[in-house]
Amino acid sequence: MQILQDKNIVLGITGGIAAYKTPELVRRLKDHGANIRVVMTQGAKAFITPLTLQAVSGNAVADSLLDTQAELAMGHIELAKWADLILIAPTTADVIAKISCGLANDLLSTLCLATAAPIAIAPAMNQQMWHAAPTQDNIKTLTRRGVAIWGPGAGEQACGDIGLGRMLDVDDLVELTCNFFSTTLKQSLKGQHWILTAGPTREAIDPVRYISNHSSGKMGYAIAKAAQSAGAKVTIISGPVTIEAPSNCTIIKVNSALEMHQQSLEQAASADVFIACAAVADYRVADISKQKIKKSSDTLQLNLIKNPDIVADIAAMTNKPFTVGFAAETQDMSQYALGKLQKKNLDMIAANDVAKTGQGFNSDNNALTIFNQRDGQVSKIEIPLASKQVVANQLVTIIADNL
């Protein structure tokens, strides 16, 4: 189940240049299962049309408090009750001031007064306007009232200034929204021990050279963080990475596939869940040179032998943990993933297409296709492109639902 499945989000759009990003924001939130109703101020319509937002949201756009047809059914109250979250992006200094003062002179500001739903704002304005004392006073007031302040970001602005004031990127807003609704996981895994492998392995050729791959460990570490946040005791068996490990997790550092295999078998006996997220080398050099190999000829031949299959060996244990594999593929992703799921007797496999630009190895984003095997039946769940932490949160939720 997607984190935003059946969540009702009112997206308020105000009159800032960042409004041009909102169709993509709507599309991405819908990809994660959300229902979106758009409310626009008059200023917002100067930057983007209601027809565009209607097309991407699949719902009529509301833009007037005095719409006679909508108000036959008290439309503004209906929207206020419908929302699980009101997200205002972009949020101008003017609208921040309105909400802070409790004004209700248009549909959006009225909704903010009439709703019991949480409110999040994504400020977007000139850097000087953001730093102005009235704006900062208004932000303090909203924070005190429990309004979530998402941003702003820093960088070059439409006016040419550089500094704080930019609306956060769509990826950031999607992640914040997903994280807002993922609190149901908190402490749900308390008492469980999750073990996962992460990062690449290095297979030595000689004392200075090795065979490896492009894995950064970001996906595995994000899963570890999500599981730990949900209350699980987490052990990471990690190949060589340059990223910081999640806090409160046990880290076992290894280099080669053989080392990772040994540690996995030793640790798995105490595991409730084992996730094989590492990009483990399939082969290692048969004879590792004790000295640096010199360039004595135009060619060099290496004899490679197959490494043990870590996740298959874990899944073959008598009292095996719930075992999740990963399949990083460049073609026929679903076919190969299903083959691994069944051949290795896994409970679940997460497949991703690492040939696609902007996801997979070394990227901050990912998308997964999850195949779950239970009672001889295989089900499929898609996790759309998002930051690896958002994807990890959803994967941990799916695993928890199947334990």
Delimit the domains of the chain by residue range: 8-181, 187-402
Q: Does domain 8-181 have CATH number 3.40.50.1950?
A: yes
**Percent of the chain at pLDDT exceeding 70:** 95
Residue 10 phi/psi, 5-degree rounding, is -90, 120
Yes or no: say if 122 and 151 are a contact pair by the CB < 8 Å rule: yes
For residue 211, pLDDT beyond 90 = yes
Kindly report, residue by residue over 124-155, the tens digit of the pLDDT: 998 899 999 999 999 999 988 889 999 898 87
Q: Which of 119, 177, 166 is nearest to 16 (CA)?
A: 166
Least confident range of 151-165, 272-286, 314-328: 151-165
Quickly count: other Cβ atoms within 10 Å of residue 321's Cβ. 23
Distance CA 378, CA 323 (A): 15
Q: Which of 281, 243, 286 is nearest to 261 (CA)?
A: 281
Q: What is the pLDDT of residue 73?
A: 47
Distance CA 42, CA 63 (A): 7
For residue 393, pLDDT beyond 80 = yes
Q: Binning pLDDT at 50, 70 and 90, where does residue 184 land?
A: low
356 burial type by CB count under 10 A (0-12 exposed, 13-18 middle, 19+ buried): middle
Kindly report, residue by residue over 156-176, the tens digit of the pLDDT: 767 677 778 899 999 899 988
Distance CA 379, CA 401 (A): 13
Catalytic (active-site) positions: 159
Residue 288 phi/psi, 5-degree rounding, is -80, 125
Contact residues for 79 (Cβ-Cβ < 8 A; gap 6+) = 10, 37, 39, 62, 111
Tokens, residue 316? 């073959």
Kindly report, residue by residue over 29-82, the tens digit of the pLDDT: 998 889 999 999 999 999 999 999 999 999 999 987 755 555 544 456 788 889
Q: Which of 150, 148, 158 is nearest to 127 (CA)?
A: 158
CATH number of 187-402: 3.40.50.10300
Q: What stretches of 269-320 show up as alpha helix (H) in DSSP?
A: 310-315
Would 8-181 and 187-402 be classified into the same CATH topology?
yes
What is the pTM (predicted TM-score) of this model? 0.69
Kindly report, residue by residue over 13-25, the tens digit of the pLDDT: 999 999 999 999 9
For residue 204, pLDDT beyond 50 = yes
Distance CA 83, CA 269 (A): 46
